[in-house]
Structure 1
Amino acid sequence: MWQQIMRVRQRAIWSWDGFVHVFRTEGSLSQWLVANGFFAILAFVLPLSAGERGMLLMGGILVLAAECMNTAIERVVDDVSTEQRDAAKQAKDCGSAAVAVTGVAVGVAWVCVIVGLIW
């Protein structure tokens, strides 16, 4: 039992270290955090159901996760080789696209919720 607790603790430390690394090295994570803060306040101010609020907050957190994965892809690609390669560019572009698509998905969710409130 104690070993399991220590493993969970260690994984939490590694995860936090990864998040701090992304925060310190990728300005876009800071931008997403500010956007998430603004939209989280909006989600709690608007008369939303618990499900709507949860979906919107979860979406914002998923954008942060996508940004972390994009950074991981960039680090691995750069670690393999610093020379310009088509596959390296494609991998980085795909990681960036994942962040963009996740952001668009959250935007669509917000539009649906806002239209539902207005309608």
Structure 2
Amino acid sequence: MWQQILRVRQRAIWSWDGFVHVYRTEASLMQWLMANAVFAVLAFALPLSAGERGLLLMGGIIVLAAECLNTAIERVVDDIGTDKRDAAKYAKDCGSAAVAVTAIAVGVAWVCVLVGLAI
């Protein structure tokens, strides 16, 4: 049992190290954190159901996860080599697209919730 607890602890440390790396090296993560803070305040200020609020907050967190994955892709591609290669460009572009798609999904969720409030 203690071994399992130590494994969970170690995984949490590695995860935190990864998040700190992205925070320190990617300005876009700070932008998403600020956007999440603004939208979290809005989510708690509006008369939303717990489900709506949870969906919107979760969506913002998923954008952060996508940004972390995008950074991981960029680091691996850059580690392999700095030569201009089509596959490297496409990998990085796809990672960026993943962030954009998740952000659009959260935007759609916000529009749906706000339209529901207005009706």
Is TM-score (shorter-chain normalized) higher than 0.5?
yes
CA distance in 1, matches of 2:118, 2:23: 36
The one-letter code matched in structure 1 to 2:54 is G
Which residue of the partner structure matches residue 69 of structure 2?
69
Which residue of the partner structure matches residue 33 of structure 2?
33
CA distance in 1, matches of 2:56, 2:115: 14
Alpha-carbon shift at residue 35 of structure 1 (Å): 0.2
The one-letter code matched in structure 2 to 1:6 is L
Alpha-carbon shift at residue 23 of structure 1 (Å): 0.2
TM-score, with structure 2 as normaliser: 1.00
CA distance in 2, matches of 1:116, 1:4: 45
- Aligned-residue identity in percent: 82
The answer to whether 1:12 aligns with 2:8 is no
Q: Which runs of 5+ in 1 are unaligned?
A: none
TM-score, with structure 1 as normaliser: 1.00
Q: Deviations over 1:68-88 (max 9, x none)?
A: 000000000000111000000
Report matched runs for 1:1-119 at 5 Å.
Answer: 1-119=1-119
CA distance in 2, matches of 1:103, 1:81: 29
CA distance in 2, matches of 1:85, 1:58: 35
RMSD: 0.3
CA distance in 2, matches of 1:40, 1:22: 21
Question: Which consecutive segments of 4 or more residues in structure 1 shift more than 3 A?
Answer: none
Size of the alignment, in residue pairs? 119
Q: Deviations over 1:19-49 (max 9, x none)?
A: 0000000000000000000000000000000
